[in-house]
Structure 1
Amino acid sequence: MKEIILAKYGEIILKGGNRPKFENILMNNIRNSLKNVAEVKARLAQATIYVEVFDEDKMDIVVERLSKIFGIVSITRAVVCEKDIEDIKAKAKEYLKKDFKDGVKFKVEAKRSDKQFPLNSPQICMEVGGYLDDEYPNIVVDVHNPEVTVKVEVRDFGAYVYADENKVQGQGGMPIGTGSKATLLLSGGIDSPVAGHMISKRGVEIDAVNFFSFPYTSERAKEKVIELASIIAQYTSKINLYIVPFTEIQLQIAEKCPEEHLTLVMRRFMMRIAERLARKHKSLALVTGESVGQVASQTLAALDVTNSAVDMPVLQPLIGMDKIEIVDRAHEIGTFETSILPYEDCCTVFTPKHPTTNPKRANIEKSENRLDVETLIEAALAGVEKIEVYPK
């Protein structure tokens, strides 16, 4: 029996007159994601993408790839039927036999968009449901609490049958490329990769910036960040990762600024450098992984001081989440195990023992005035390394 993949999208439906633009971007993202995986043919009709896979051995990997494309809410493998009720019944019986265990409760739901088909949706349900009930005497019809929901779709160009319970959850959100571009400050920790995933879910393309303090942070720490970017890229396609040499800035801060101000002065440098890179590469906002009150540098007062260093918008998708929620999301997207590898990043190397939690902007700026801010920023920018990171 020939199978096909049905990928459903959701929020795009609400886009009114702009909907074709969003659909075209989603279709391009699907083709780009699958072009090196399998030979496929994809078509779109009535909020569903129909993906034919010419090598049946590649069905699983295609489903897995589709499950990581923003804009798709569910993916289902279905059997292709003739637009004939007898063929639909026979295919349903054979295709779903593994789902019909003894005593299982089921119902049939039908959608008929081809109005030339001789049976309407309720009649399709009656025909298919009655046939399955006769062929499998040990299963039970239960339209209120079914364990298996048999779906029958009769479209203009074909008919399809599948069990709704076998669908795979998609990412949802909006297709990458519909929400402009932003630059993610990517550390080696748990939070920032999750922030990158969450902002990408709104259709935002992302670049990433990492601050590297060799020899205080090792090459393994750098490799860890590249690995994290490659995991995020599974959802976003290629990410341009900019590695910024940060050692001299941190040494100057440690030498000339009060210890309790080290983290905030450092973060203001990071924001300024990230903003310069963002503007150079056409990003419209910065993205960071702060959550209010999680650490001393993430109190509202501290966030005000940090964000005041730049003029462009700062997006903080995790701002109202607690650590458990963030960790759960990191597990879901596959970044957690990499994030907890024991390689320090530059934020943890020069951490003060007693950082200020209620900083005053004027005091932090006074500390910054002890440094040649512009010269340090220009030197760091001159040493930036660009790495094109592709999906893992």
Structure 2
Amino acid sequence: MKWEKILVRYGELSTKGRNRKQFISHLRNNIRFSFVDLPNIKIQAERDRMFLTSSDDSEIDALIERLPKIFGIQSFSPVASCSKDLEDIQATALQIMDSLDNHEKTFRVTVKRSDKFFPLDTYELQSLVASNVLRKYSTLKVQMKKPEIDLRIEVLNDAVYMMAQVIPGAGGMPLGSNGRSLLMLSGGIDSPVAGYMLLKRGVRLDAIHFHSPPFTSERSKEKVMDLANQLSHFGATVRLHVIPFTDIQQSIQAQIPENVSMTTTRRLMMKIADLVREEIGALGIVTGESLGQVASQTLESLTAINAVTSTPIFRPLISMDKLDIIDIAREIGTYETSILPYEDCCTIFTPSCPKTKPKLEKVEYYESFKDFDELITEAVQNREVLSFPMKKSNDFLNLL
């Protein structure tokens, strides 16, 4: 089927008022970024919808395949066009129905006739097209309210346009419309899902990961790099800040009582994350914590961890069941990477009996015997910064 254009419906951002143009501009820019490899795409943004066109049929097919990952789109429809000749209209309608799974489906034809000089009125065109379709597809059943297939025909001055598919989009808000935050990316199941949920609300992300060689391997680091790369597929560059954390963890093990060592570890991670956040100009910190899931995620533990910063901490999974989180991880494609059996710095020194209700004053008392500030500053300064999606290497080309 040859499609003329794609109609994009905005969804939630269409509820915006005077600042709607800013949200539409973000969506336009995100589409350009995501389809930079398709040079012939043209974007026509209107107040309530957007049209994407290309002179290359393969680019239209690529748009249909990849648009569902772009945040800010409620749904979209491939649109075909034809002349205003009745036989051409009927033939195009059959071509569209051929491209759909139409066996034993409910069906209707909806006509909008903007060209008032068109010789057939709305009801006549609707009847002629529907009867022609039903003659070919005898298993279709006409249903005027909420049919499974709604063949929409719009008669304009220049041509007739038709669509029947309504493909769900990712929803949410366009990336960049709600600032930037820093995601604490551990390599487990939860944190990539938390990142996805903030991306869906229009928040651009940097990510921070704590790496403790030789206790954590290069494989564990590569796993986190893969997760950062997967998050970048939703329409924006993701920078990953890899923090050398070995010296800090060893100092914690030497100084802090074992049963509160995990609380101190999380507090120092949060301090480092806050310094990186300030340096990159992010407005918040994102974590994958879910209330009560592990000892460091009780209300008492979270209170002790929060005490090191006044920065907003976003925990989009805080009330979610683990199985629901796993379902989202499978849906967005991060689950199989997350379950790879490589250790992270939070698991290698896990105490046998961690405090589930640590007292903030006691944690601060234990930490007062060791000045961690120098180690924190050194870790921030010596971090490695990677950008995803990674640019293809030109090393081979440079050899030519």
Classify the TM-score, shorter chain: over 0.9
Give the C-alpha shift of residue 114 in structure 1: 6.1
Please give the per-residue CA displacement for 1:113-140, whole angstroms capped at 9, x wherever unaligned: 6667666665553343233234545533
Cα gap change, 1:98 to 1:381, in 2 (>3 Å): closer
> 2:394 corresponds to which residue?
none
> 1:78 corresponds to which residue?
79
- Secondary structure at the aligned position of 1:5 is classed as strand
Cα gap change, 1:116 to 1:203, in 2 (>3 Å): farther
> 1:240 corresponds to which residue?
239
> 1:258 corresponds to which residue?
257
Please give the per-residue CA displacement for 1:56-113, whole angstroms capped at 9, x wherever unaligned: 2343332232111110122332322335555333211222124375654311233456
The residue identity in structure 2 corresponding to 1:185 is: M
Cα gap change, 1:97 to 1:275, in 2 (>3 Å): same
Please give the per-residue CA displacement for 1:337-362, whole angstroms capped at 9, x wherever unaligned: 00000111111111111111111110
Give the C-alpha shift of residue 42 in structure 1: 1.9
The residue identity in structure 1 corresponding to 2:354 is: P
Give the TM-score normalised by the residue count of structure 1. Answer: 0.92
The residue identity in structure 2 corresponding to 1:77 is: P
After superposition, where does 1:286-325 map in structure 2 within 5 Å?
286-325=285-324
The residue identity in structure 1 corresponding to 2:387 is: E
Give the C-alpha shift of residue 52 in structure 1: 1.7
Give the C-alpha shift of residue 206 in structure 1: 0.7
Distance 1:381 1:156 in 2: 62
Cα gap change, 1:350 to 1:108, in 2 (>3 Å): same
Please give the per-residue CA displacement for 1:246-270, whole angstroms capped at 9, x wherever unaligned: 0000000011101011111000001
Cα gap change, 1:101 to 1:2, in 2 (>3 Å): closer
The 8 Å contact of residues 39 and 54 in structure 1, kept in 2 or not, is answered as yes
Distance 1:123 1:377 in 2: 75
Cα gap change, 1:99 to 1:66, in 2 (>3 Å): closer
Please give the per-residue CA displacement for 1:169-227, whole angstroms capped at 9, x wherever unaligned: 21100101110111111111000000011011111111110000011000111111010
The 8 Å contact of residues 285 and 312 in structure 2, kept in 1 or not, is answered as yes
Say whether residues 1:93 and 2:94 are aligned partners: yes
The residue identity in structure 2 corresponding to 1:108 is: V
- Secondary structure at the aligned position of 1:96 is classed as helix
Please give the per-residue CA displacement for 1:147-171, whole angstroms capped at 9, x wherever unaligned: 422222446765432223xx33211
- Secondary structure at the aligned position of 2:144 is classed as coil
The 8 Å contact of residues 196 and 206 in structure 1, kept in 2 or not, is answered as yes
Cα gap change, 1:122 to 1:250, in 2 (>3 Å): farther
The residue identity in structure 2 corresponding to 1:81 is: C
The residue identity in structure 1 corresponding to 2:339 is: I
The 8 Å contact of residues 231 and 391 in structure 1, kept in 2 or not, is answered as no
> 1:194 corresponds to which residue?
193
- Secondary structure at the aligned position of 1:74 is classed as strand
The residue identity in structure 2 corresponding to 1:306 is: I
> 1:61 corresponds to which residue?
62
> 1:228 corresponds to which residue?
227
- Secondary structure at the aligned position of 1:311 is classed as coil
Distance 2:384 2:113 in 1: 55
> 1:44 corresponds to which residue?
45
After superposition, where does 1:345-360 map in structure 2 within 5 Å?
345-360=344-359
Distance 1:103 1:388 in 2: 49
The share of aligned pairs that are identical, in percent, is 43
> 1:168 corresponds to which residue?
167
Distance 1:146 1:92 in 2: 16
Cα gap change, 1:375 to 1:46, in 2 (>3 Å): closer
Count of matched residue positions in the alignment of Structure 1 and Structure 2: 390
- Secondary structure at the aligned position of 1:370 is classed as coil
Please give the per-residue CA displacement for 1:224-252, whole angstroms capped at 9, x wherever unaligned: 10100000000142111100000000000
Cα gap change, 1:111 to 1:222, in 2 (>3 Å): farther
Say whether residues 1:16 and 2:17 are aligned partners: yes
Distance 1:118 1:281 in 2: 62
> 1:217 corresponds to which residue?
216
The residue identity in structure 2 corresponding to 1:2 is: K
Distance 1:44 1:113 in 2: 20
Distance 2:128 2:97 in 1: 16
Cα gap change, 1:79 to 1:142, in 2 (>3 Å): same
Unaligned runs of 5+ in 1: none
Distance 1:120 1:212 in 2: 69
The 8 Å contact of residues 38 and 55 in structure 1, kept in 2 or not, is answered as no
Distance 1:391 1:149 in 2: 42
Give the TM-score normalised by the residue count of structure 2. Answer: 0.91
The 8 Å contact of residues 96 and 162 in structure 1, kept in 2 or not, is answered as no
- Secondary structure at the aligned position of 2:351 is classed as coil
Cα gap change, 1:302 to 1:101, in 2 (>3 Å): closer
Cα gap change, 1:295 to 1:114, in 2 (>3 Å): farther
Give the C-alpha shift of residue 29 in structure 1: 1.0
Cα gap change, 1:76 to 1:253, in 2 (>3 Å): same
The residue identity in structure 1 corresponding to 2:376 is: I
> 2:336 corresponds to which residue?
337
> 1:366 corresponds to which residue?
365
Moved more, 98-107 or 20-29: 98-107
- Secondary structure at the aligned position of 2:241 is classed as strand
Cα gap change, 1:290 to 1:119, in 2 (>3 Å): farther
The residue identity in structure 2 corresponding to 1:354 is: C
RMSD over equivalenced CA pairs, Å? 2.3
Distance 2:346 2:157 in 1: 58
